[in-house]
Structure 1
Amino acid sequence: MLLYLHGFRSSPQSFKARLVQERMRDWGVGKAYACPMLDVSPAAAIERAEAAIAGARAGGDTEIAIVGSSLGGFYARWLGERHGCRTVLLNPAIHPWTDLEKYLGDQPLWHGGGSVRVERAHLQELLDLRVEAITDPARYYLIAATGDEVLDYREMVAAYPGAHVRVIEGSDHGISEFADYVDDVLSFCGYRPAA
């Protein structure tokens, strides 16, 4: 299974999530794709991700890979360490417990309307998920854009010493040209196009 974890205020309808899903369908492995809607509560988001992993394992899937974008990348780091699986990080949040301080209160969602309420307790939940250092850099692939207008790519690179790292010159937080990298991401996760 490939578990895609979307970012803050995002959803399974995000551009990158849909691109990964479409490419996996094209490659004949679409059934292996999962992208749950993550709760604004980090603890609840992790529970939902863990439920997806447990469901895949119960269905006979022994190989798990995780792709996480932005805040989803922060969750992917924790889950990657917990499950010892290949993990791809797309402009991941490094210290979201401070980044989200300025977003306390109601925040609009990017897709489908509505909003979420960010509470101070969520910042502690993020702190509780902090991973000081990755244990096996070879299992991690970081894609970081120098033009990210939300997060600092240098902090991302520093947080993943020894990992596979691709620094994109320019671009943006959403990695607008992600179509250029999706095949590389899926290959790292162990997928190949159907023959």
Structure 2
Amino acid sequence: MRIVYVHGLDSTANSVKGVLIEKYCKAHHPDVEVIRPDLNEAPNKVFDRLCKLVQQGQRVSDSVVIIGSSLGGYFASLVSNETGCPAVLLNPSTQPHISLQRFVDDQVIDTIACDDGASPVIYRTTGGWAMTLQDLDWFAAHKLQQITHPDKVFAVIKQGDELLDPKVAADFYQSQEVKVALQPGGDHRMTDFEQQLPLIMERLLPQG
């Protein structure tokens, strides 16, 4: 099996959850390869890159799973819809075209060249992605409206998520007949993630 881990907005390939997954697999499932790409780039490039990673993995492995946290959960959902791969979602973002609007009212910090001229940079992530208004347009054009393979998707959502409304995410995935583990308390970063790993891996490897 291969696991592709998709980090969130202000994170990198060395995100805490991604590293914990890799360490856990090395200790308990050494036959599982964990891939942790750095995805600090425009959303169209992230989506294309993840689809290629999954499709390449599907050609050489019996099983490829994508795990996404926060904004990574949004991308994991899109990629699962596109490729049919199983997905595990951790406090997933379901409406980035809305939630990322919080950066629009901030002062424009820079501009970058785009296909149709210069686009204002509205936020720069800690990993270096220069988010633009064009990126928000992409999210708006790629709204998460359905889950194509609900039997292959599993969401872990904390009711104490202080950044994204957990009810919005839970209601959406449950309406799509996705299995949702809605857990009391917690936070957006899912600081108890290390304790969540056995549950997640049991879901991925029920006979492991």
Unaligned runs of 5+ in 2: 105-121
Show the counterpart of 1:57. 58
1:32 deviates by 1.7
Cα-Cα RMSD: 1.9
Q: Which amino acid aligns with 1:53?
A: V
Amino acid in structure 1 at the alignment position of 2:96:
P
Q: Distance in 2 between matches of 1:133 and 1:44?
A: 21
CA distance in 1, matches of 2:22, 2:56: 18
Residues 1-195 of structure 1: matches in 2 within 5 Å? 1-29=2-30, 32-58=33-59, 60-104=60-104, 105-109=122-126, 115-161=128-174, 162-190=177-205
TM-score, normalised via structure 1 length = 0.88
The count of corresponding residues between Structure 1 and Structure 2 is 188
What is the Cα deviation at residue 189 of structure 1?
A: 2.1
Q: Supply the AA of the counterpart residue of 1:168.
A: Q
Deviation at 1:106, TM superposition (A): 3.3
Q: Give, in whole Å, the separation in 2 of the partners of 1:5 and 1:149.
A: 20
Residue deviations 1:125-161 (CA, integer Å, cap 9, x gap) = 1123323111332211111111111101100111112
The structure whose RCO (Cα within 8 Å, separation 6+) is larger is: 1
Cα displacement (A) at 1:184: 1.4
| Closer/same/farther in 2, CA of residues 57 and 141 from structure 1, 3 Å limit | closer
CA contact (8 A) 2:7 2:18 kept: yes
**Alpha-carbon shift at residue 14 of structure 1 (Å):** 1.3
The letter of the residue matching 2:124 is: Q
Gap change, CA 1:184 and 1:64, over 3 Å in 2: same
Mapped to 1, the partners of 2:11 and 2:207 lie a distance apart of 28
CA distance 1:26–1:41, change in 2 (3 Å): same
Task: State the TM-score, normalized to the length of structure 2.
Answer: 0.83
Asked whether the equivalents of residues 93 and 151 of structure 1 are also in contact (C-alpha less than 8 Å), the reply is yes
Shift of 1:192: 6.0
Q: Which has the larger radius of gyration?
A: 2
Distance 2:85 2:125 in 1: 33
Contact 2:158–2:185 under 8 Å retained in 1: yes
Alpha-carbon distance between aligned partners in 2 of 1:179 and 1:31, rounded to the nearest angstrom? 17
Go from structure 1 to structure 2 and tell me whether the alpha carbon gap of 1:138 and 1:171 turns closer, same or farther (over 3 Å shift).
same
Tell me, in whole angstroms, the C-alpha distance in 1 between the residues paired with 2:123 and 2:179.
Answer: 37
The residue matched to 1:94 in structure 2 has which SS?
coil
Counterparts of 2:67 and 2:42 in 1: how far apart (Å)?
19
